[in-house]
Structures are given as structure tokens and as C-alpha cells.
Amino acid sequence: TQLLEQSPQFLSIQEGENLTVYCNSSSVFSSLQWYRQEPGEGPVLLVTVVTGGEVKKLKRLTFQFGDARKDSSLHITAAQPGDTGLYLCAGASNTGNQFYFGTGTSLTVIP
Amino acid sequence: EAQVTQNPRYLITVTGKKLTVTCSQNMNHEYMSWYRQDPGLGLRQIYYSMNVEVTDKGDVPEGYKVSRKEKRNFPLILESPSPNQTSLYFCASSFFLGAGYEQYFGPGTRLTVT
């Protein structure tokens, strides 16, 4: 089992603040994905990063894949209440066929 | 509408009574997978399938079976459910895009085994 640890586990911030969520492992992944999950629904893919050092931006969200492809971060600028949800990272095995999910970061943005 | 559907959405059953959770996708995806989500443990992969008639174990396959006779369907079978299989189950499907799989998840099936 390739473990992915996310931190923090819970995060409650005011609207307009910035935040960073971390996803760390001792294992190397062929790619890493970030998902957001809302209560009662399945996870929804936000982004896939593939290359070590890669940075992707999705509006106010910035995703980075570590140089060694063992860790990743998600930075949200000027958080909004609509960003509230459970954020999950998932690493793909070297074959790309198996996925290992982090335990998640529950984000609450207070208006 | 492109989607992954699961049935049933909620199920309460008793120990030992065989059950099947169905999963179907209408996107012609080759890759399909089952996960279970438990508090504090996140999502763990149970089984996955690269294509018709090709299935492989994920991280937590014990107590589960799957089959992939058609591209669109990937049922999860619990031959003799036990209380430790009480969980929230998700099916997912994807194309393989070269850079990896971009998985689309179903709405989930909440299973309680008493």
C-alpha cells in the first residue's frame, strides 16, 4: 500500500483568505490527481499533474507536483464559500492502473 | 448526459446475504474501478478493470468479487457480506489518456450490513 498523507485534516477559514493543502508520501507516483467531494456525492476531478515540478492553475486554485513526484500541494487564493468541500489527492501507481487516495482535507469557508 | 450510475443508492442487509451493486457508464470508458470510503481512511480501491474480461485486485479486495462482461457495466458482488463491509461505495470510470486516468465517479452506494 502506498500511503498518502494530507494536511491539514480540517480547515476553517474566512472568505477571502488564502490556504494551502499538502499531500505527502514516501512513494513515487506516475501522476497525481486532486478531487473535490461534496456531501452525498462522488469526488469530482479538479486536475491531473504528471511531470515532477509541474504547476497547474485553475482560476484561483494552483496545483503543484513535487520534483520527485512524491508530494503535491493545492493553494487556493481568496477562498469563497463555494470552495467548501472535501479535497482529496490521489496518486497513480507506476503502471498507472491503481490509485491511492489521501484521507482528505475538509475545508469550510465562512462567509 | 455523460454519467456513471450506481444502484442501489442505499442498502441495508444482513450478514451472509449475497448482494450485488451495479455500476454502469455511458462514456465508452475502458477503465472502471470500485472504491470504498470509510471515515479516517479515505477512499480505498477494491478492484479495477482495464477492459472487458480484464480485472485486477486493488488495495482491499478481500470479500468482494467483480466481473466485466460488457464494457459499460462493472458490478460489485459481495458473496457473504459482513458488518466490516459497511461503507460508502463508489464506482468510477475513465479513458486512459496517456498521462493517466481522469476518473468520473458515480453518486455512491451506502451499504449497511447488520
What digits encode the pLDDT tens for the residues A3-49?
899 999 999 999 999 999 999 999 999 889 999 999 889 999 999 99
Q: Are B32 and B93 in contact (CB under 8 A)?
A: yes
Chain A residues closer than 8 Å to B102 by CB? 33, 45, 48
Question: How far is A81 from chain B, CA to nearest CA, in Å?
Answer: 23
Residue of B43, B56, B60 for testing the chain A interface, max A β-carbons within 10 Å: B43
Amino acid at A16: G
B64 C-beta neighbours (distance < 10 Å), count? 20
Taking 90 as the threshold, does the pLDDT of residue B1 lie above it?
no
Q: Which of residues 40-69 of B touch A (CB under 8 A)?
A: 40-45, 48, 50, 56, 58-59
Could you list the beta-strand ranges (E) of chain B.
Answer: 4-7, 10-13, 19-25, 31-38, 42-51, 54-57, 65-66, 76-78, 87-94, 104-105, 109-113
Min distance A26 CA to chain B CA atoms (Å): 17
Record: contact A101-B43, CB cut-off 8 A: yes
Q: What percent of chain A has pLDDT over 70?
A: 98
Residue A95's pLDDT band (cuts 50, 70, 90): confident
Stretch A57-78: mean pLDDT, rounded?
A: 96
Task: Give the 3-state secondary structure of residue B102.
Answer: coil
Band of residue B2 on the pLDDT scale cut at 50, 70, 90? confident
Banded pLDDT at B98 (limits 50, 70, 90): low
CA B101, CA A48: separation in Å to the nearest integer?
Answer: 9
B96 touches chain A (CB under 8 A): yes
pLDDT digits (tens, 9 = 90+) for B16-51: 999 999 999 999 999 999 999 998 888 999 999 999
What average pLDDT does this structure show over B93-108? 82
For residue A3, the model assigns a pLDDT of: 82
A97 interaction partners in chain B (CB closer than 8 Å): 31, 48, 50, 56
> Who contacts A57 (Cβ-Cβ below 8 Å, separation ≥6)?
A63
Residue B99 pLDDT greater than 70, yes or no: no
**DSSP string of A32-100, one letter each residue:** EEEEEE-TTS--EEEEEE-STT-EEEETTEEEEE-TTSSEEEEEESS--GGG-EEEEEEEEPTTSS-EE
Please check the confidence at residue A89 and state whether its pLDDT lies above 90: yes
Instruction: Report the residue of chain A nearest B41, measured CA to CA.
Output: A103
Assess whether pLDDT exceeds 70 at residue A1: no
